[in-house]
Amino acid sequence: MSRQRNTINRTVRVEDVELHVAATEHGKGHWDAVARFDLNGQLCRAQLGEPAPNSDCAIEEVARIAIRSIRNG
């Protein structure tokens, strides 16, 4: 029997860019997150390099990664 995964979807606005973030639990205390966003007409994606301990940390960290991408253009 497969384990059901918890997934949290949020939309966050950062520096006039809308981030669509999905955080997924991969076992107790191991969260991954992906942010998708449009940057100057190009669809971009940011993803965590290492698991986070909870969904809020995962979402905050992937947003930081996306912000760096946005600022670097």
Q: Which domains, ranges and CATH numbers included, belong to the chain? A: 7-72 (3.30.160)
**pLDDT above 90 coverage of the chain, percent:** 66
Mean pLDDT across the chain = 90
Question: According to the model, what pLDDT value does residue 1 have?
Answer: 47
The values of phi and psi at residue 35, to 5°, are -115, 135
pTM to 2 decimal places = 0.84
69 vs 53 pLDDT, higher one: 53
Partnered with residue 20 across adjacent β-strands are: 11, 36
pLDDT in tens, 5-32: 799 999 998 878 899 999 999 888 899 9
User: Edge to edge, what strands does the sheet with 42-47 contain?
Assistant: 7-14, 17-25, 31-39, 42-47
Is a pLDDT exceeding 80 seen at residue 62?
yes
- Rounded to whole angstroms, how far apart are CA atoms 11 and 29? 22
Handedness of CA 12, 13, 15, 17 (dihedral sign): positive
